[in-house]
């Protein structure tokens, strides 16, 4: 008989959550997914059916790349109709990058995709893995009148559910490793699971899921700093096949006004290279023209990333370049929120 319970697919990609200590070297490395499930008998107590699928070779998330993102997207696409929600177990180091990219790759997503992981392995006595995993599954199971409450890519960590493309990993020590400075938490787990329904993404549910697998990584990211040299900037712009550059500027989008810097940017924009201005600050927004040190950037046609995170800025850029959006529409599309990634 077909079960009427909510069906959740658990996708294991790797990360600390499923790691063990190599007894010779003492270094943490990934281990078999089956063993992971044996470590959490509590999963059987949840009021949902859980199925699992694993990367053939689980990886430390430092080895994530665009092929791995396509792999995650395909696992979701292949099983989309058979499950009500998806929980992706992923290393915390690049979780915000992967989850942000997936938010762009999964257009018209109508079901929850919750990324989670942990700071300590699941077998560790003081592990944060169990709570993160169990609550992620509960969040992904939330339904009202048979429809999923959450219809977007999220990240759950240490009692908080965030919009994935608003998150950044900020702490390598605390259990509370992530933060979302420019957007409200989507839910908080205390004695009760409190969902902030007004902040959830409302997709167009009449449209079918469209999975985008073409990402273009011919891009570069420059974090400016006082003393940065012309040679450094020039060498980045000389990268073969370069299509776009993200500049992490100061504060509200400010950069040096030295003429060599502005000349390089102007020259490259005229060659069709997209240049995006995002801020190094974890909170707040780029406002080009607010200070004199950003007015020139605005005038030469630099794109504003507004209050986007670096992680989402990269994912959005690879996604839009993959779509081969013509030059004149590119700026408008980049500056428009597609998945709630900017205000
Ligand atoms: N290095 C690990 C990873 O990102 C850290 C973690 O999982 O928290 O895969």
**Is residue 68 domain-shared with residue 147, that is, in the same domain?**
yes
Tell whether 131 and 200 lie within a shared domain. yes
Pair (82, 106) in one structural domain: yes
Which residue, chain included where needed, has tokens 């792999």?
Answer: 71
- CATH number at 260 reads 3.40.50.40
- Considering the domain architecture, whether residues 194 and 280 belong to the same structural domain is answered as no
- Tell whether 263 and 142 lie within a shared domain: no
Q: Are residues 137 and 280 in the same domain?
A: no
SS3 3: coil
Our mutation pick for probing the ligand 1 site, out of 55, 62, 175, counting the most ligand atoms within 8 A of Cβ, is 62
The per-residue pLDDT for 31 is: 66
Tokens (6 digits) for 17: 């959550």
Q: pLDDT (tens digit, 9 = 90+) per residue, 287-301? A: 999 988 889 999 999
Check if the beta carbon of residue 141 is closer than 8 Å to that of residue 6: yes
In whole angstroms, give the CA distance from residue 98 to residue 84.
21
Q: Could you write out the DSSP letters of every residue in 15-39?
A: SGGGEEE-TTT--EEE--HHHHHHT
> Can you give the pLDDT at residue 207?
94
The residue out of 211, 230, 254 marking a domain boundary is 211
Which of 194, 211, 228 is where one domain is finished?
A: 211
206 & 225 share domain: no
Runs of H (alpha helix) within the chain: 33-38, 66-79, 95-105, 129-141, 230-237, 259-270, 292-299, 310-322, 327-335
Residue 326: which domain range?
219-334
Percent residues over pLDDT 70 in the chain? 97
What pLDDT is stored for residue 334 in this prediction? 98
16: annotated active-site residue: yes
Q: Which of 152, 182, 211 is the last residue of a domain?
A: 211
pLDDT digits (tens, 9 = 90+) for 46-104: 999 999 899 998 899 999 999 999 999 999 999 999 999 999 999 999 999 999 999 99
pLDDT tens-digit map of 202-233: 998 899 999 999 999 999 999 999 999 999 99
Q: Is 152 in the pocket of ligand 1 (CB under 6 A)?
A: no
**Interval 23-52 mean pLDDT:** 79
- CB 10, CB 53: distance < 8 Å: yes
The total of other beta-carbon atoms located within 10 Å of residue 234's CB is 11
With the C-alpha atoms ordered 233, 234, 237, 240, is the resulting torsion angle positive or negative? negative
Count structural domains, the chain. Answer: 2
CA distances for 73 relative to 84, 164, 199, angstroms: 15, 15, 24
- What separation in angstroms does the CA of 174 have from each of 25, 67, 89, 167, 170? 25, 30, 19, 16, 9
C-beta of 92 in contact with ligand 1 (< 6 A): yes
29 pLDDT tier (thresholds 50, 70, 90): confident
**Whether 12 and 109 share a structural domain:** yes
Question: Rounded mean pLDDT of 169-187?
Answer: 96
pLDDT at 171 over 80: yes
The two tokens of residue 63 are 């080895």
């Amino acid at each position: 008989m077909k079960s009427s319970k909510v069906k959740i697919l658990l996708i294991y990609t790797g990360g600390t959550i499923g790691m063990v200590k190599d007894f010779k070297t003492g270094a943490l490395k990934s281990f078999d997914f089956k063993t992971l499930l044996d470590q959490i008998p509590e999963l059987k107590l949840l009021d949902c059916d859980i199925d699992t699928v694993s990367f053939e070779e689980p990886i430390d998330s430092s080895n994530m790349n665009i092929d791995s993102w396509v792999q995650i997207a395909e696992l979701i696409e292949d099983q989309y109709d058979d499950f009500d929600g998806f929980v992706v177990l992923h290393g915390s180091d690049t979780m915000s990058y992967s989850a942000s990219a997936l938010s762009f790759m999964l257009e018209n997503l109508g079901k929850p995709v919750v990324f989670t992981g942990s700071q300590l392995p699941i077998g560790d006595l003081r592990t944060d893995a169990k709570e993160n995993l169990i609550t992620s599954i509960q969040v992904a199971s939330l339904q009202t009148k048979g429809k999923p409450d959450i219809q977007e890519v999220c990240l759950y960590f240490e009692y908080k559910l965030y919009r994935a493309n608003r998150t950044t990993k900020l702490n390598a020590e605390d259990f509370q490793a992530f933060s979302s400075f420019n957007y409200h938490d989507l839910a908080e787990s205390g004695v009760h699971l409190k969902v902030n329904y007004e902040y959830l993404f409302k997709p167009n549910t009449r449209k079918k899921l469209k999975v985008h697998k073409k990402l273009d990584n011919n891009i570069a990211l420059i974090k400016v700093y006082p003393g940065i040299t012309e040679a450094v900037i020039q060498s980045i712009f000389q990268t073969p096949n370069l299509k776009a550059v993200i500049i992490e500027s100061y504060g509200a989008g400010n950069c040096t006004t030295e003429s060599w810097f502005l000349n390089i940017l102007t020259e490259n924009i005229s060659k069709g290279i997209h240049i995006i201005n995002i801020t190094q600050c974890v909170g707040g927004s780029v406002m080009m023209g607010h200070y004199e040190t950003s007015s020139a950037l605005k005038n030469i046609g630099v794109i504003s990333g507004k209050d986007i995170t670096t992680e989402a800025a990269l994912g959005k850029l690879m996604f839009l370049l993959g779509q081969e959006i013509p030059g004149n529409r590119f700026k408008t599309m980049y500056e428009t929120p597609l998945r709630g990634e900017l205000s």
